[in-house]
Structure 1
């Protein structure tokens, strides 16, 4: 995606936005403070187009594999692989468009909580 965020900052934003997909209580005030310097439109796009497609399965798993937080490097690599797959494959782009719409609908409460604190 064409964000004006340097890689270290982008990774920090992604990690912060992955917190609602962990298996513990989310401190939305703390999360919002971590990302407050980024444009809300960019945050929304990163949340649903990058982070949620990689992390949402943790919420729907019977026994979530991630309890306390996603590893920043693994998260960065997973998102990078997914974005590259979208770029290479027409079918993947179409599938992910539908997935992102579903994620925006199903997990709208996450953005509402973040946006209300920005």
Structure 2
């Protein structure tokens, strides 16, 4: 029987897109293939990107190889709690739209392996 993957596993794999190093899309796809494609895209744009994107904006990124899965999951939990308010939902939706557009190239590359 195979391993059961959780949302935390999916988010940790997707966070590899934001490291300051070569991105292993095959590895990300090996985890993401256990979830519906629409769900993977939603998790990437709604939770993982807002949590990790600042690493790409930094002239000297703090994360080169991998994000800490536990810390990432804690940050995603904070985002989920914030989206309970009307303003939080609005902000979430705006950020999601932005990241869907901004990450088109990365998403297309990932889709090659799914």
Fold-level similarity (TM above 0.5) = yes
1:115 counterpart = 2:111: yes
Question: Stretches of 4+ moved more than 2 A in 1?
Answer: none
2:58 aligned partner: 61
For residues 113 and 81 of structure 1, what CA distance do their matches in structure 2 show?
29
Q: Aligned ranges for residues 3-18 of structure 1 at < 5 Å?
A: 9-18=6-15
Structure 2 unpaired stretches of 5+: none
Give me the TM-score of the superposition, normalised by structure 2: 0.90
Shift of 1:64: 1.1
Residue 31 (structure 1) aligned to one of 10, 14, 28: 28
Residue 97 (structure 2) aligned to one of 95, 98, 101: 101
Matched residues, number: 111
For residues 76 and 109 of structure 1, what CA distance do their matches in structure 2 show?
25
Give me the TM-score of the superposition, normalised by structure 1: 0.87
For residues 76 and 95 of structure 1, what CA distance do their matches in structure 2 show?
19
RMSD between superposed Cα atoms in Å: 1.4
Q: Deviations over 1:19-59 (max 9, x none)?
A: 01011000111221122121111111111111111111111
Shift of 1:70: 0.7
For residues 62 and 95 of structure 1, what CA distance do their matches in structure 2 show?
26
